[in-house]
Chains A and B, each alone.
Chain A
């Protein structure tokens, strides 16, 4: 559709006419269906008119048809209009960013002072947008993450969701090493999450060691399992690799189910030791966190601690990945994803390269698993099923395979929308499916599809994936 301004009135009249016809048809349809209710309260059947309902139904059809018609016939113009509006708002915000930021900070401080405790979600969102405009997306997300527990201190429900989101961000970043960087499709990533969780639970219960001792051990165990998976699949690629990793995930889950003497089978492991604040437990006793540091006891202390713990773990994952990308091993992963034969012909051992990718990816999955165990206090094989793997993989793929910030955004969007649609339990997967199809259509290479070079020379320059895929020969 062309979007000349001269065509606009005719488009609107056309849409109006169209909507009018639809309205008449709707009236004809609904007048008997909705317009009257067969009422027999007085023992006698008589029609009860319901004009408001009828008007509402016809109105919805009319307005809906009008909008659809307008959008359909003049989509380009509309998009242009909205786009320009958005761009000019953004430009304005950027121009007055200091003033805006100062105002926002003042407002926020005033808010905290006068109604201590809670910032409403809306404030948070406005602050987020401002941060994003001012600092750019990545620092804005980071700043928000750090401020989040302060803002939502009195709202454990949000804190809980944020912790879950961060867990998935971390899992996404961990899997991103294997899938996004090294290009090895892994459908069984949840196995390492499970290994981490179970090794933490078993070690912590059996030896009573603290979280900070058990965490690295859990990571080590998971890394060991990563190598274990890596060896048999070294020669496999693409579809075959995916199938074997899928099977590996299931094998681990089934072993956990059946090795009752170690894992307590389907009943799971309960009363897993909680994480302590570097040795100080979050209890109401005299040597608990609150008493030691002179606070009043509040169970939220633990939640906030868990939030910062998983935030730190996720950031470590991210930092390590970014570092590794600049080191020979990380660059070898990326090269391996592009062309294994070329990698070999440069004297790089592809076996070791793949195994390190599996091991390091698995290790972070293990860390996340240990965190999961200590947060939940209870784990069972039910938490480590295939859909979990699929969700993490979806996060990586939607995020744009290899883009750190893309994966983070995808994790936030996916997990948050899962929470949002919790009431529509049965429809969650349907919505999920539609969202996937939508992304495949509009952003076939993921949300953030450009790969950042690991070294910059003068200026930052990313080239979108559309240009990158061409010209292999």
Chain B
């Protein structure tokens, strides 16, 4: 088997003195879609932010492409081939769609901006129509697409997505998830997906982890997890 692209070993993270992550072990292989599901407050977003160094892990280690990134500052981590679409999207509301995408390319190395832009527009054609519109005036779904597009502009190998389906209509959710699958299959992009929408996420992902109270409670392939009665009762029944 090949080396993992991202490996998280025994990571604990704290907000003040409160532990949000308690010894997390997660591995992401190149080319995989890995999803983290769990209840509100389980620590999913915290895990994603800890990979990005905010907050930094107090125990354990995080390696990306064989480099220890545990104690690097956020902006240095994000200069490697990692990009994220954070919780709440955090696009720049007063800047246009185009400017938002330019910001995404701020640290891109190699390749051409135009090509990357064309790729993003091909993935989300609506963004091309809205390229001169302010980010803040986009609809929720468009903002999510912009957040993903902005992350893609830095030409990542690993894309971290935090709840891309939050607050979106089923049709738009399907559109976003099919875009994620596209990226994974065509561009061989590795994806780390944090989701509430367990059904969709597990169907899409190669492997998944279930997080409870800052710990990994279960793991397995997407299919395995979908069939587990504990998962079904806790995250799926009535919740699709």
Contacts and interface: CB of A to CB of B under 8 A. Distances in A.
Contact of B95 (A328, A334, A344, A469): A334
A458 B132 CA distance: 9
Contacts, number: 103
Contacts of A457: 98, 131-132
Q: How large is the interface on B (under 10, 10 to 19, 20 to 34, 35 or more residues)?
A: 35 or more
Given A342-B91, A347-B75, A347-B79, A453 B106 contact: no
A473 B140 contact: yes
Given A345-B86, A454-B99, A468 B137 contact: yes
Contacts of B154: 346-347
Contacts of B89: 473
A344 B74 contact: yes
A296 interface: no
A331 interface: yes
A354 B184 CA distance: 36
Interface string A439-473: 00000000000010111111001010001111111
Q: How large is the interface on A (under 10, 10 to 19, 20 to 34, 35 or more residues)?
A: 20 to 34
A331 B93 contact: no
B137 A455 contact: no
B94 A334 contact: yes
A350 interface: yes
A348 interface: yes
Contacts of A472: 93, 136
A455 B103 CA distance: 12
A343 B104 CA distance: 9
Contacts of B223: none
Interface in B85-136: 86, 88-96, 98-99, 102-104, 106-107, 131-134, 136
B54 interface: yes
Interface string B146-168: 00001000100000000000010
A346 B89 CA distance: 13
A463 B107 contact: no
Interface in A344-365: 344-350
B86 A342 contact: yes
A313 interface: no
A90 B136 CA distance: 34
A69 to B, nearest CB: 42
B78 interface: yes
B128 to A, nearest CB: 10
B103 A335 contact: yes
Contact of B137 (A338, A344, A467): A467
A386 B138 CA distance: 41
24 contacts: A332-B103, A334-B92, A334-B95, A335-B92, A338-B93, A339-B92, A344-B54, A345-B52, A345-B84, A345-B86, A346-B78, A347-B75, A347-B79, A347-B107, A348-B75, A348-B107, A455-B99, A455-B102, A457-B98, A457-B131, A463-B137, A467-B134, A470-B136, A473-B167
Given A331-B106, A335-B103, 20 more contacts: A332-B106, A338-B92, A342-B86, A343-B103, A344-B78, A345-B84, A345-B90, A346-B107, A346-B150, A347-B75, A347-B79, A347-B154, A454-B99, A457-B131, A457-B132, A458-B132, A468-B137, A469-B93, A470-B137, A473-B88
